[in-house]
Structure formats: C-alpha cells, structure tokens
Amino acid sequence: MSYRKQVLDIACWEFLHFFKLRDLIISIVLVGGVSLAIAGFSYWQERSRPVIELAVISPIELALDSEHFDVKAHGPTQKDQLEAAVARGELAGLLVVTPPRATLLAPREPLWLDEISAAVTAAVQNFQLDRLGIDRAQLEVAMAPVAIAVELVGGQTTHSDDSITLSMILTGLMLVMLITGIGYLFVGVTGEKQQRVAEQIFSITSAQALIDGKIVGIAAVSMLSTLQLGAIGLVVYELVKGGALGWALNLFSAVDFGQLVVLAAFAAVGFAFWFVVCAALFATIDDPHSSARNNAIALPMLAPAAVFLGMSSPDSVMMQVLSWLPITSMTVMPARVVLSEVAVWQIVLSLAVSIAAIAFVRRAAGRLYEAGMLMYGKEPSLAEMLHWMRSGHADRRA
C-alpha cells in the first residue's frame, strides 16, 4: 500500500472517529431549537409585559412608549391623592417633574426606571434649550464632531474598516478551529499509547503516515465543526433579527480580492502550523492526565496577543519581525497588510517561511511520535527530543 493511500485511510478513520452525521444533525436541531426558543421567549416577554399605570405631574410632555406605559397627566393640586393611590398599590408610580429635577414615587424599586429616565432627560433637555432660546438643530450642528477628510498622496488609499473586520473574523475562526481541533488531536495522538497498541500499529504503517493521517483527518473535523457553528449562528440571527446573510455577503464583496486571498492564506497557514506543532508536542506526552505539556493548548494565543500589542504601529520593528516568524505571522502580517503598505515579496516570502516551518515540524512530529509512542514511564527531555529529530529510524526505535 502506498504512503499516500495509508495517510488517506488514517485520515478517513480519524475523521469518522470524531465526526458523526447523526451528531451533526442533532447539534443543528438542538442549537437551532434553543436559539429559536430563546428568541420566542424574548418576544413573548416583550408582548406580555404588564402595562404600567403611571401618574405624571409635569409642565412638559413626556414621550413614553404607549404599549408599556399608561400615562395620565394630573395637576399639582392632586399630588396628595396620587401619593395615597401609590401607597395603596393602585398606581405603579407617581412622576413629578420640576425642571431640571424629577422625582419618582413608587411602592417598590422600579425595574423600568431606565425607560422613565431616558424620556425625562430628553424632555427636560428640550425644555431647557427652549427656555434659553437655543434651537436644538443648531446646537447639534455646533456640537457635531469635526470630520477630517484624509487625502493620501501618490494614489494611495486608506485601509478599509471592512478589511479590518474580515481579518478579525478570520483570526477568530482560526482560533476556534484550533481550540476545537486541539482537543480531538490530543485524544487521537495519545490514545494508542494509553491502550498500549503502538507496536501493533507501527507494524502496519509508518509513524509519519500515522501522524499525517491524524492531522489531516482531525483538522477536517475541526474545520467542519467551526463552519457548522458559524453557519448556525448566521442562520439563527437571520431568522430572529434579519440582515445577517446580507451583511456577510456585503462584507466579502467590499473587501479587495487580493486582500481577501492574503487574509485567507495566512489564516489557513497559521492554523496548519499550530496544529502540527501541537501534534508534535502531544506525541511526547506520557500521561495525558497529569502532563504539564497539556498547556501547549495556550501557545496559539501568542499570535492574537502580538497583534493587539502592536496594532497602533503596524510598521514598528517589533511588528515587522513578528510578521516573519511562523508563530505570529498568521495574525501580524494580515494586520500589516490591512493597516499599512507591505511589499508583495514580503507577503510571499512570509508565507513561504511558514510553509517551510510546517514541513519541518510535520517531519519532526513523525519522528517524535515514532519514538515517543514506544517510551513508557517518562516524558522525553528536550535533549532527547532533539536527538530523535536528528536520528535515524533504527535509533529512534532502540
């Protein structure tokens, strides 16, 4: 059997091990059902709210939602009677407005205070402006922030907010795929060692084919799970609020195609790099329940952390260096592409460095897996790991 056929068979087995069509359908039904139920409860709550009977003594008119409030205006002479009615529970509250102050008398802490406060604030502001002879429209014009038009020389263009949004979305999807897949990868890589079947498996196929198949199959499960989660979220939001699908289509159409390709390429390469790195580390774990190397799950967080630290200055020396390192380039280089001007050769070379790093770590993962699966009772030291990565097949099995 050829090496490629072995990898494909192992990848299919790992994929089917963690992916079940029945579970996918059930999760879609459950997530969709729960989301629709929450939306239904929210709508039911909104429509079934009791109408609040509120007495108002005010020289100015208040704009309150007539669906939720039954507002009746009264004169100042009726204040004592209205206070007695509130005390007996016949009214939900008595609102007395004497600009610029207002007092609310209620039998208990009102949960609808924010709605009352917003209406009173708007009314009193208009009252004060009218009293001072200030036109509200003129005031808004005078207080409006100054919009600074940016004109770039040499035909350059400003960065697009849509590109920034898309970059953040792709980074988030990459992290979700990593977090989802690393859990499966941890089980898949350490499983055979816990069951003491490594020797039998290595008699059937090579360690490199086995680790490659695991990486490909489990990565496919992770990608499918993340896409499923994102699709469910978009559909549910579309059904409940509307506009989600249109927003997504407009976002992709608004971004320059070249930037879209670059952002997607770095997200894919970043996912592959960290996935292979975690596979290599997991291959050296002896006891998955107590190993300190389980903390490798937190390593991919270095990439987004680097972006947040240097986003205000994308052309700084730190950002330029990090855009070349495979551990951070998947987020730093897209940020530089969106926020600054980066030469094409730098983008291509950064991708090439990351792809070369993936190939190197993949090969190292195979060698570490071959030696690590046959070592019981202890985890290899860094010196032993480096020795295995350099040694031949016979030496690793010795």
Q: Render 120-181 in DSSP notation, one character per residue.
A: HHHHHHHHHHHHHT--HHHHHHHHSPPPPPP--GGG--PPPHHHHHHHHHHHHHHHHHHHHH
Predicted confidence at residue 353, as pLDDT, reads: 93
Residue 393 lies in a domain: yes
Q: Looking at the structure, do residues 258 and 344 belong to the same domain, yes or no?
A: yes
| φ, ψ of residue 189 in degrees (nearest 5) | -75, -40
- pLDDT of 159 > 60? The answer is no
The DSSP letter of residue 77 is G
Tens digits of residue pLDDT in 305-363: 777 776 667 778 888 888 888 888 888 888 888 888 888 899 999 999 999 999 998 88
Predicted confidence at residue 195, as pLDDT, reads: 63
Q: Looking at the structure, do residues 205 and 70 belong to the same domain, yes or no?
A: no
Q: Looking at the structure, do residues 175 and 138 belong to the same domain, yes or no?
A: no
Predicted confidence at residue 392, as pLDDT, reads: 54
Predicted confidence at residue 358, as pLDDT, reads: 92
- pLDDT of 151 > 90? The answer is no
Most confidently modeled of 108-112, 129-133, 176-180, 346-350? 346-350
167/304 Cα distance (integer angstroms): 11
Predicted confidence at residue 294, as pLDDT, reads: 64
Residue 3 lies in a domain: no
Predicted confidence at residue 238, as pLDDT, reads: 73
Domain encompassing residue 115: 53-143
Residue 183 lies in a domain: yes
Average pLDDT, the chain: 78
Last residue of a domain, one of 113, 143, 173: 143
- Cα dihedral 35→36→38→44 (10° resolution): 170
Predicted confidence at residue 349, as pLDDT, reads: 93
127/59 Cα distance (integer angstroms): 9
Q: How confident is the model at residue 26 (pLDDT cuts 50, 70, 90)?
A: confident
- pLDDT of 364 > 60? The answer is yes
| Residues 6+ away with beta carbon under 8 Å from 376 | 193, 286
Measured CA to CA in angstroms, residue 8 lies from 289, 314, 375 at distances of 30, 41, 27
Tell me how far apart the 2 most distant CA atoms of the chain are, in Å: 102
- pLDDT of 75 > 60? The answer is yes
Of 51-60, 144-153, 357-366, least confident by mean pLDDT is 144-153
Residue 20 lies in a domain: no
Residue 153 lies in a domain: no
Q: Looking at the structure, do residues 70 and 174 belong to the same domain, yes or no?
A: no
Tens digits of residue pLDDT in 81-104: 888 888 888 888 888 888 888 888
Q: Looking at the structure, do residues 274 and 216 belong to the same domain, yes or no?
A: yes
55/53 Cα distance (integer angstroms): 7
Q: Looking at the structure, do residues 221 and 290 belong to the same domain, yes or no?
A: yes
Q: Looking at the structure, do residues 138 and 165 belong to the same domain, yes or no?
A: no
In three-state secondary structure terms, 1 is coil
Predicted confidence at residue 356, as pLDDT, reads: 94
Predicted confidence at residue 352, as pLDDT, reads: 93
CB atoms inside a 10 Å sphere around CB 142: 9
Last residue of a domain, one of 143, 173, 190: 143
Indicate the number of domains in the chain: 2
Q: Which residues pair with 69 in a beta bridge?
A: 52
- pLDDT of 167 > 70? The answer is yes
Tens digits of residue pLDDT in 263-294: 889 988 988 898 888 888 887 776 666 666 66
Predicted confidence at residue 92, as pLDDT, reads: 87
Most confidently modeled of 12-26, 229-243, 343-357? 343-357
What average pLDDT does the segment 15-35 reach?
Answer: 72
Residue 167 lies in a domain: yes
